[in-house]
Structure 1
Amino acid sequence: MSCCAPPFDVSGTFDGSAARQEIRLASRELGDGLRQADLSVPGVHCAACIRTIETGLMQVSGVENVRVNLSTRRVAVKWRGEEAPDLLAALARLGHPGHLFESEADRSDPELARLIRALAVAGFCSMNIMLLSVSVWSGAERETRSAFHWISAALALPCLIYSGRVFFDSAWSALRHGRTNMDVPISIGICLAFGLSLYDTLHDGPHAYFDAATSLIFFLLIGRTLDHLMREKARAAVRGLMRLSPRGAMVLRADGSRDYLPLAEIEPGMRVVLNAGDRIPVDGVVEEGASELDCAIVSGESAPRFVAVGATVRAGTLNLSGPLTIAATARAETSFLAEMVRLMEAAEGGRAGYRRIADRAAALYSPVVHATAFLTFLGWLMATGDWHRAITVAIAVLIITCPCALGLAVPIVQVLASRRLFENGIMVKDGSAIERMAEIDMAAFDKTGTLTLGQPRLVNGGGIAPADLAIAAEIARRSSHPLSRAIAAAAPAGGHTLSDLREYPGLGIEGRLQGQLYRLGRAEWALAADVCGHEAGTVLSRDGKWLAKFAFEEALRPQAKAAIAALRSEGIAIALLSGDSEASVHSIAARLGIGTVAAGLLPAQKVERLAALAAQGRKVLMIGDGLNDLPALAAAHVSMAPASAADIGRNAADFVFLHDGLDAVPTALELARGSARLVRQNFALAILYNAVALPIAIAGYVTPLIAALAMSLSSVLVVANALRLKSGSSVSPQPAGTISAKPALVAEPGQ
């Protein structure tokens, strides 16, 4: 059927109850009983297609409006009724099959699935060939040996064709572009070992080396799969940040109608309607309404921010308490949230230097190995005239110099270090982070949720009359504001029964008790004009008269002071980088003795600070927990976050510590430096192995199987050395309540 086929009659009833249920669940309420469903129709190509779809769907019972967007191939259908119309069946009858419209979903990882399948095939084949080899090398009869060789060849073939393709494709890609990598000598060694083994099997030779070829593939695939998993975890943070952006928003048209548009179709100047609980889709300015916003993604500040008409709002922040109408000032791709995603992607890209170093090492390693094996072949051929003997020795040289020990030198230490870290309540998200942690010379801390627990507590409760405190606590229990929760926690529940309770976003809460009006919140709101004077902060009033004032402070994390002292003793400089206010940041810095302080930083400014420190030669560990810390966590030399951080904050960090104490930071540093020492020792062992084994192989004293065993022995040596890694020691415990009595934060509910 042509894409421009004439319309069909689609007014009938279709048997598609499951599809109708999906459409209803995916649709959005527009008000007055009207709902909107968005469908994707990939086959829309021209104006005739649009006319066909719009005319045809308008014939479906319940449909009131249809609009086709040719550029996005999206069909917006407005309908009424308890049951959704069967729009998908109608589209199919029109010759334009479609599906529910949604932004690009997370796709499965085909490369990981391919590696796991290849690993499974290689493991099955190599283990079975090894069992057969035991019988052959134990002195099996000629007929049995020949049969086992043929069975081994049959098992090795799928291993090479399917599992070995991972290395063959990489090697061929490098050779086609005139370069080389470590997969080139691996591929040559595997193919030669298999080819010679097949030749010996055909000619009834006493030995074959199928086990060497398949075992090599299996063990190398283990390392390749783990490496891929590490890299995918690093990308998960960017995907998590992108999920903070809603898929679309309700747009208020000039004629008063409402349309739910995908994020990509929202243009500057459009009016966007937001309910409490909605995330702001694009940067904008408030035109109607007043509410509180969770701006943790911008500043990291735990207290909600009050916004009213004229206030600027940023994409990704969460509308907490009231309806808003905003005028968009930027498209989604130029919004604040999109900028954070770009900052994280740029920071991740900056780590490609490690890959370039590995490539340069491979470029040097491969030619040396190839030249050595080729010269060995020529030397033995000229010396003996026996091509079989010459190629057997050359294969042994290729296998015995396989970089397995060098390849394991770092990963095995990282695996063991990860286990030791976990035993200390620390999870490592990226193996290379352990070696980067060992290199740091500076630690930069966020404040809220990192140096502090991010939970304000009342510090002057003992100085407030118990009756007044009980009334304030009863009022505060009606609010989820962090400062209200701190007041509510200071007195037992059930003391008073208040009526007419009402919360005013950004101002406070009021209620009546025995005919009197009590207010808890901003002084300028709670107090009468003639008694307010210069009073500020959070107060309790009765009929406009002052009763009590509340002071708050943020509790330090356990072991905060001891951890910072331990880092200083290791020669680590300390800095505090925060998006919070100057007063609260400098108060915390003074309590911990931190001299390098920067407050009021936006996420991009934190990245700029880290870039400036890196330009000075500093290697900075960033410790943060807020959404606003994500780009900084990604941009730092290495990063760390508490388990209490947001999901995407934990994904962005290289390390996550599971308990409250900051002693995890010096513990991770101690283990990382111990790991670095073991890695250097492993490299020395691997080099020594090659220096001893290579001359012996060239001299012809090693068969391919012995070469594979020697290569395995070198791997065992580096593993045994890595097992010497000791568990880290924690810093001296510091009680969580060891904090200054001076209030660090004075604020009010709704501020």
Structure 2
Amino acid sequence: LMRLAVAGFASMNVMLLSVSVWSGATDATRDMFHWISAAIAFPAIGFSAQPFFVNAWSALKHKRLNMDVPIVLAIVLALVTSLWETALSGKHAYFDAALALTFFLLAGRYLDYRTRAVARSAAQELAALEVPRAWRLREDGTEEEVAAAALALDDLIRVRPGGRMPVDGEIVTGQSELDRSLLTGETLPVYAGPGTPVSAGEVNLTGPLTIRATAVGEDTSLHRMADLVAIAESGRSNYTSLADGAAKLYAPGVHILAALSFVGWYLYSWDVRTALNIAAAVLIITCPCALGLAVPAVTTAASGRLFRKGMLIKDATALERLAAVDTVVFDKTGTLTAGTPELTNLDAIDSKQAAIALALAEASAHPLSVALARAAREAGIDPAELTEITEVPGYGTEARLNGARVRLGRAAWAGAEQTGGTAAWLALEGEAPVAFRFADKIRPGAEEAVRGLKAAGKEVLLMSGDTTEAVETLARRLDIDTWIAEALPEDKAARVQALSEQGRHVLMVGDGLNDTAALAAAHVSISPASALDAARVASDIVLLGQDLSPIADACHTAKRATRRIRENFQIATVYNVIAVPLAVAGLATPLIAALAMSASSITVSLNALRLR
């Protein structure tokens, strides 16, 4: 932004001096104005055009051509020609053209910059979840704190409640509940006891555990997941944007045309000044301002439109990739559903039983207990008076009511038979157990999003680490024909990769750490704002609200944006077809060329605004 401001300020001042020259200033006065213009232009361009010089030099070092090479040649040639004219007391200098060129190009770069989000790599976010230190048990049973990197196979490690697993392993002693959303995406905790396998990154919720390490360092599940993401991210970086593709054809043509113009006019007139002026005019009039603005102008307009609908575009090429999507893969928990359990049968439960369950639920931080307590309080229920309330890790909560034992927790612990669906069971001594049933609430707009995508001819898949029953129920409710349950992170990434190898352009929509590799491997990806950091970083687009319905509209907007980009390329091509012959014929000075270039840039920008 500072470079843009300097270029604009310098350009206005030099334009004022140029007006004086155009108005009839001659001889010494004209030369003085030219030298003042030179004194303003050289340092201003040296500072403002630095990004173009650096990028052009980098491309030439690697024996490549990009958009910045003809830009730099045009600026340098305009400055050199102007300095030469000024030194020889010539009538025309083109410092104003060089500055105007720099200003318009920087404006395009700034528009492009605004669409980008500065964020860490998703692989780095995953690596940040690795536990730096752990408590290792010595042979005498005492604990020592060591770096996680110092842990070896078969070491015994103590993991306290609230702690994250530092390695893959197997529980030796202790009972607890684990948050396994890292691998499965399932938000509800799972019971864990001796013999239960655990993975690095899982969270121990309720009771102390001792685990035996079965994989450490780079062999853990978490590290392998980070590797999957890094590989997927590097593959996506190979995507070639429309502008880059145009530059590969455009840049060599411009150089050849300018060189031929110089040689032709020099052989015709044997006047180096005339040949240089015409070569500079050719470079300026063909300078890819319109091409440079073609993509960022449209991207900015489309990004603004989608932002008003609740979507933030993070990557400059995301819209181009989204326009090509033909297959959409949704995660379940936290994406199509809210990811939090909701009590569904409170109305069918006796008020006395509900009051007892509320008292037990408020003594636990388990997600089902929290949901039960919230629903009961909202229904105006007051908790019963209980004594000796105790939470039993991995099972539930128990207490005494008038001397009789009451329990709220797992089916087997409450003396009930497990049935389909998610439930917490209330057991009162001498009475049959009562089920409090829960469902994962569907996000607003989920049905509209799926319906809109299918109506647009896209194939929709549901892929989740949740249980088969839960995934099938949701797929049937949303009319999704193809679904996959109990999928691990590597399964999701492999499925997305397989679809890509079949020629599909996959949009992945997910929110969990277990979705990160698939998000990075997809052609383009979307995450809700509620997603974990690593998932948001791996995605190209962030859904700012709870409503999923803008996803279908985003695909439509992306197609319109791509059409506008192609129209802008066509406008730039028509402009060059008309203007270039005039410049080659010597009918356009560098100043007229700069004005024509500005006109084409404004036309491209106005066409982009039609998206708004």
Is this a same-fold pair by TM over 0.5? yes
User: What residue number does 1:516 align with?
Assistant: 404
Residue 562 in structure 1 maps to residue 463 in structure 2: no
Q: Amino acid of the residue matched to residue 474 of structure 2? A: I
Q: CA deviation at 1:227?
A: 5.3
User: What residue number does 1:5 align with?
Assistant: none
Write the deviation string for residues 129-153 of structure 1: whole angstroms up to 9, x where unpaired: 3444344444456544433322322
Contact 1:287 1:310 in 2 (8 A): yes
Using the TM superposition, name which of 688-697 and 363-372 deviates more: 363-372
User: What residue number does 2:313 align with?
Assistant: 428
Q: Amino acid of the residue matched to residue 560 of structure 1? A: A
For residues 733-748 of structure 1, the aligned pairs below 5 Å read none
Q: Amino acid of the residue matched to residue 363 of structure 2? A: R
User: What residue number does 1:505 align with?
Assistant: 393
Name structure 1 gaps, 5 residues minimum: 1-115, 727-751
Q: CA deviation at 1:359?
A: 5.7
User: What residue number does 1:99 align with?
Assistant: none
Using the TM superposition, name which of 324-333 and 432-441 deviates more: 324-333
Q: CA deviation at 1:379?
A: 1.7
RMSD: 2.5
Residue 642 in structure 1 maps to residue 528 in structure 2: yes
Give the counterpart of 2:214 among 329, 335, 338. 329
- Could you tell me how far apart the structure 1 residues matched to 2:493 and 2:546 are? 26
- Over the matched positions of the two proteins, sequence identity in percent amounts to 49
Give the 3-state SS of the residue equivalent to 1:377 in structure 2: helix
Q: CA deviation at 1:470?
A: 1.7
Distance 1:195 1:507, change over 3 A: same
User: What residue number does 2:274 align with?
Assistant: 389
User: What residue number does 2:361 align with?
Assistant: 476
For residues 85-234 of structure 1, the aligned pairs below 5 Å read 122-123=7-8, 125-140=10-25, 142-224=27-109, 233=118
Q: Amino acid of the residue matched to residue 670 of structure 1? A: H
Q: CA deviation at 1:322?
A: 2.4
Give the counterpart of 1:454 among 326, 334, 339. 339
Give the counterpart of 1:605 among 481, 491, 494. 491
Contact 1:156 1:210 in 2 (8 A): yes
Residue 571 in structure 1 maps to residue 457 in structure 2: yes
Write the deviation string for residues 58-83 of structure 1: whole angstroms up to 9, x where unpaired: xxxxxxxxxxxxxxxxxxxxxxxxxx
Contact 1:281 1:332 in 2 (8 A): no
Q: Amino acid of the residue matched to residue 456 of structure 1? A: P
Contact 2:236 2:520 in 1 (8 A): no
For residues 270-669 of structure 1, the aligned pairs below 5 Å read 270-355=155-240, 361-491=246-376, 492-527=380-415, 532=416, 537-543=423-429, 545-669=431-555
Write the deviation string for residues 527-546 of structure 1: whole angstroms up to 9, x where unpaired: 3xxxx467785211123642
User: What residue number does 1:4 align with?
Assistant: none
Write the deviation string for residues 34-80 of structure 1: whole angstroms up to 9, x where unpaired: xxxxxxxxxxxxxxxxxxxxxxxxxxxxxxxxxxxxxxxxxxxxxxx
Q: CA deviation at 1:117?
A: 6.4
Q: Amino acid of the residue matched to residue 359 of structure 2? A: E
- Could you tell me how far apart the structure 2 residues matched to 1:654 and 1:166 are? 25
Distance 1:324 1:211, change over 3 A: farther
Distance 1:697 1:329, change over 3 A: same
Give the counterpart of 1:691 among 577, 581, 593. 577
Distance 1:127 1:330, change over 3 A: farther
Q: CA deviation at 1:687?
A: 0.9
- Could you tell me how far apart the structure 2 residues matched to 1:379 and 1:584 are? 75
Write the deviation string for residues 665-722 of structure 1: whole angstroms up to 9, x where unpaired: 1121121121122112111111111111111111111111221221121111111011
Q: CA deviation at 1:182?
A: 2.7
- Could you tell me how far apart the structure 2 residues matched to 1:455 and 1:124 are? 55
Q: CA deviation at 1:354?
A: 2.7
Please, what TM-score do these two structures have when normalized by structure 2? 0.93
User: What residue number does 1:709 align with?
Assistant: 595
Residue 267 in structure 1 maps to residue 157 in structure 2: no
User: What residue number does 2:126 align with?
Assistant: 241
Give the 3-state SS of the residue equivalent to 1:580 in structure 2: coil
- Could you tell me how far apart the structure 1 residues matched to 2:50 and 2:545 are? 44
Q: CA deviation at 1:308?
A: 2.0
- Could you tell me how far apart the structure 1 residues matched to 2:30 and 2:398 are? 92
User: What residue number does 1:67 align with?
Assistant: none
Write the deviation string for residues 427-475 of structure 1: whole angstroms up to 9, x where unpaired: 1111211111111111111111111111222222222111111211221
- Could you tell me how far apart the structure 2 residues matched to 1:586 and 1:206 are? 80
- Could you tell me how far apart the structure 2 residues matched to 1:148 and 1:247 are? 65
- Could you tell me how far apart the structure 2 residues matched to 1:324 and 1:691 are? 74
Q: CA deviation at 1:397?
A: 0.3
Q: Amino acid of the residue matched to residue 399 of structure 2? A: G
- Could you tell me how far apart the structure 2 residues matched to 1:642 and 1:179 are? 39
User: What residue number does 1:730 align with?
Assistant: none
Contact 2:358 2:383 in 1 (8 A): no
- Could you tell me how far apart the structure 2 residues matched to 1:282 and 1:120 are? 53
Using the TM superposition, name which of 236-245 and 174-183 deviates more: 174-183
Distance 1:588 1:699, change over 3 A: same
Distance 1:160 1:251, change over 3 A: farther
Using the TM superposition, name which of 488-497 and 412-421 deviates more: 488-497
Q: Amino acid of the residue matched to residue 483 of structure 1? A: L
Distance 1:278 1:427, change over 3 A: same
Distance 1:580 1:388, change over 3 A: same
Give the 3-state SS of the residue equivalent to 1:490 in structure 2: helix
- Could you tell me how far apart the structure 2 residues matched to 1:363 and 1:380 are? 27
Q: Amino acid of the residue matched to residue 723 of structure 1? A: L
Q: CA deviation at 1:343?
A: 1.5
- Could you tell me how far apart the structure 2 residues matched to 1:696 and 1:482 are? 73
- Could you tell me how far apart the structure 2 residues matched to 1:358 and 1:562 are? 34
- Could you tell me how far apart the structure 1 residues matched to 2:254 and 2:148 are? 55
- Could you tell me how far apart the structure 2 residues matched to 1:356 and 1:685 are? 18
Distance 1:251 1:227, change over 3 A: farther
Contact 2:446 2:547 in 1 (8 A): yes
For residues 1-40 of structure 1, the aligned pairs below 5 Å read none
Q: CA deviation at 1:609?
A: 0.8
- Could you tell me how far apart the structure 1 residues matched to 2:126 and 2:21 are? 57
- Could you tell me how far apart the structure 2 residues matched to 1:228 and 1:719 are? 16
- Could you tell me how far apart the structure 2 residues matched to 1:247 and 1:228 are? 35
- Structure with more contact order per residue of length (Cα contacts < 8 Å, sep ≥ 6): 2
- Could you tell me how far apart the structure 2 residues matched to 1:358 and 1:661 are? 33
- Could you tell me how far apart the structure 1 residues matched to 2:504 and 2:216 are? 37
Give the 3-state SS of the residue equivalent to 1:517 in structure 2: strand
Give the 3-state SS of the residue equivalent to 2:384 in structure 1: coil
Distance 1:225 1:345, change over 3 A: farther
Using the TM superposition, name which of 244-253 and 312-321 deviates more: 244-253
Contact 2:112 2:300 in 1 (8 A): no
Distance 1:359 1:656, change over 3 A: closer
- Could you tell me how far apart the structure 2 residues matched to 1:495 and 1:305 are? 27
Contact 2:310 2:543 in 1 (8 A): yes
Residue 253 in structure 1 maps to residue 138 in structure 2: yes
Q: CA deviation at 1:567?
A: 1.4
